[in-house]
Amino acid sequence: MTRIITIEREYGSGAPEIAQQLAQRLSWKLWDQELTREVARLAHCHHNAVEEREERRDSLYYRLLKSFARGSYEGSANVDDPLHALDADSIVRISERVVLRAAEEGNCVIVGRGSQHFLQDRKDTLRFFLYAPKADKVRRLHAQGTREKEAISLVDTVDRERAAFIKSYFHVEWPNLPVYHAMLNTASGDETVVRAMLSFMNGK
């Protein structure tokens, strides 16, 4: 019996809206921005700080700084700044805790944050990947208020960051095709995608 649905997505494909509609249809809890807020609460920081860093690797400069600090006597003696700051490693660790707890509670839709990999061995989980043609993603973002030039740039850069994040922390290419039960093109419309997910869930 399916108790959990994870939704991984290309940026601009409409996953937040689709996940919200799906959760409402099922009367399930949605873990999207709520997941970010919970990670921020556990990390004792503002949710904006988590939002800016989640599903991204640390910058090359910061990774080098951490490496240097861990390998030096001075760094080991003064770890507060580079090693105890909110970084990608700590966000991933906390995110895993939140995702696993959400899964234990069940009846939830979880958007991204590595949830498809954290929960890939659970039999009660359906894992979807949402994608769309670039032009559709740009149009959607533009309709939501993002300038077209910025939308074009974000569609490319955010997904590159997600791919690097998945490669770094889960050691697979993004999207990792074998982990998903279905990949859906959101150009067919949000309602069509939601119905397809529900149909897939009912047929499982």
Q: In sequence order, what E strands does the chain have?
A: 4-9, 29-31, 108-111, 125-131, 182-185
Q: Cα–Cα distance between 126 and 130 in angstroms, integer?
A: 13
Superfamily designation of domain 4-203: P-loop containing nucleotide triphosphate hydrolases (3.40.50.300)
Q: List, edge to edge, every strand of the sheet that includes 125-131.
A: 29-31, 108-111, 4-9, 125-131, 182-185
What tens digit of pLDDT does each residue of 86-136 get? 788 899 999 999 999 999 999 999 999 999 999 999 999 999 999 999 999
pLDDT value of residue 47 = 86
What tens digit of pLDDT does each residue of 143-152 get? 999 999 999 9
pLDDT band (50, 70, 90) for residue 69: very low
Q: Cα–Cα distance between 169 and 111 in angstroms, integer?
A: 17
Domain coordinates in residue numbering, the chain: 4-203
CA atoms in the 13 A half-sphere facing the CB of 82? 18
pLDDT value of residue 53 = 84
Which sign does the torsion angle of CA 95, 175, 187, 151 carry?
positive
Q: 70 or 194, which is more confident?
A: 194
Q: Give mean pLDDT, residues 188-204.
A: 94
Question: In whole numbers, what is the pLDDT of the chain averaged over residues?
Answer: 88
Burial class, 139, CB count within 10 angstroms (exposed 0-12 / middle 13-18 / buried 19+): middle
Give me the amino acid identity at 168. Answer: S
Greatest pairwise CA separation for the chain in angstroms: 59
- 3-state secondary structure at position 189: coil
